[in-house]
Amino acid sequence: MFRINGEYVGVANSAPIYWNGSSGNLPAGFDEAIETIIEENEKPNTLCGLAVVISKEHLGKGISSKIINNLKKLAKSYGYSNLILPVRPTLKSQYPTISMDNYISWEKDNLPFDPWLRVHIKIGGVILKVANLSMIVRGTVSNWQKWTGMHFGESNRYIIPGALNPVNIDLENDLGEYIEPNIWVLHKC
């Protein structure tokens, strides 16, 4: 947790994981990282960041980089030389029809276009690869209508506010499926 004048303004969640250092050996994304952490059989050697949340009032004030640096210090305190994170790019939800591979190639001032990716790169992070199957959310069509407040009148791909990709709605099978991509980022500690 990160505090300013006694007020909590940000928090990060992380857990130790085994990773052999190869991008091909990374979990598929957030969901698989959680499964690996829970079912881990090998001795952890890496810290896996799972979430960083900052209060809206404190966005854009450099807190995110301080939290990532604190995670790096935490990793180092356990003797780990790597911090890996399945990063959810901040602005990707504004471009849900653009593939993540294309989105991360966008630049602004020779840095990634996305502000959250920019923070990581500025403090030494390295993009390892896209995690196209990072998080999968399935539910009935009724579930998706409740969750989104939207009506789905036909089977199709729908743009949902805040989602990084369209949601696939299949009325015949009463299934809504959302597959969220993330970006694996590495920080050396």
Pairing of strands 107-108, 46-54: unpaired
List the pLDDT tens digit at each of the 189 positions of the chain: 666 777 788 889 999 999 999 999 999 999 999 999 999 788 999 999 999 988 888 788 888 999 999 999 999 999 999 999 999 999 999 999 999 999 999 999 999 999 999 999 999 999 999 999 999 999 999 999 999 999 999 999 999 999 999 999 999 999 999 999 999 999 999
Tell me which DSSP letter residue 94 carries: G
What is the b/e burial string over 66-92, where b = at least 16 CB atoms within 10 angstroms of the residue's CB?
bbbeebbebbeeeebebbbbbbbbeeb
Q: pTM to 2 decimals? A: 0.92
Q: Give the start-end residues of each E strand in the chain.
A: 2-4, 7-17, 46-54, 82-87, 107-108, 111-112, 126-139, 156-158, 167-170, 175-188
